[in-house]
Amino acid sequence: MKEGMVLKTGRAANSDDMEKINRYTRREFQPEEVYTFSVVLCDNEIDRDGERFTVEALKALAGLFLGKTGIFNHSMQAQNQTARIYDCAVERDETRRTKCGEAYCRLVAKAYLPNSEKNRDFILELESGIKKEVSVGCSVSSVTCSICGADLRHGGCSHVKGKTYNGQVCCAVLDEPTDAYEWSFVAVPAQREAGVIKSFSGMEEVEKALSGGETVTLTGEQSRALRETMKQLEREASYGRAYRAELENDFVKYASVAQPEIPAQTLRRVAAGMDLDDLKCFEKAYRARANEALPLTPQLFRAEKTEPAGGNAPFKI
């Protein structure tokens, strides 16, 4: 998750804007029917996570963010969708240098929303600067060390982000964006919290963040992977439950034979309370005893008519 901010509000839409906007509308809108503003989505400066986009990545993101709707408060609910990006481009500022010594580049998006009664409060908040911050989420397929070029998604290297090596500051270089999945307005009082949301490149990272209690934003691909994992776990859990139920039944069955003085409902309660290892252990022991007391296989049943297997059946009363 990267952060940007609202740049300009209340620009009058010109014919070029209207042509682009009308690509996304069901009918042709007139300039007075739309409200437009621009936002800086991200730049090539090192952010507080010690990461930076390459200029190439920003250019690719420009294409990926086209048509994307911005949301408020990170809600993915459709009714909260507020504005749509209709134009997006990288702006280069040669007079300003990044910590890496590159010309400062930023990804600037133009967005519109219907100039409707429903959006009036939102527009007011934009104009007043309350909705100043935006955060963006995207995924990249390349994350490398700025010092040695090591792939940081798999293992990585010994360089530490933020440290300087031979006059070069170490950061993670984000490149080859694959998906731009959201941009949202962050109400300023909550910005520090909201800014914590990160973008993740792999399921391992997601699991790590989830276990650490972080706020997590997932790409469509990651959501699908997580759903798949959950389905798999549910399947496995159902096998596990079936196995346990069978084991409990067997335990009760054999224990009833081996120790008929214990009521079946007591055995069921005991079975339900045991952990799986204990249950396996008791089931095995009682199966052996039950088999001695009352041979359980059909052949032995027939044999029992003459003489119980083994001759001595200590649990047969």
Q: Which residues bind Zn ion (CB under 5 A)?
A: 145, 147-148, 150, 157, 159
Between residues 148 and 233, which has the closer beta carbon with respect to Zn ion?
A: 148
Least CB distance from residue 173 to Zn ion, whole Å?
Answer: 10
Between residues 148 and 272, which has the closer beta carbon with respect to Zn ion?
A: 148
Residue closest to Zn ion (Cβ): 145
Least CB distance from residue 185 to Zn ion, whole Å?
Answer: 36
Distances in whole angstroms, Cα of residue 34 to Cα of each of 19, 82, 134: 12, 12, 20
3: β partners: 135
Between residues 163 and 224, which has the closer beta carbon with respect to Zn ion?
A: 163
CA distance 153 to 126: 37
Least CB distance from residue 157 to Zn ion, whole Å?
Answer: 3
Between residues 90 and 145, which has the closer beta carbon with respect to Zn ion?
A: 145
User: Taking Cα atoms as reference points, which of 289, 206, 282 lies closest to residue 248?
Assistant: 282
CA distance 256 to 270: 12
Between residues 124 and 148, which has the closer beta carbon with respect to Zn ion?
A: 148
Least CB distance from residue 250 to Zn ion, whole Å?
Answer: 57
Least CB distance from residue 51 to Zn ion, whole Å?
Answer: 14
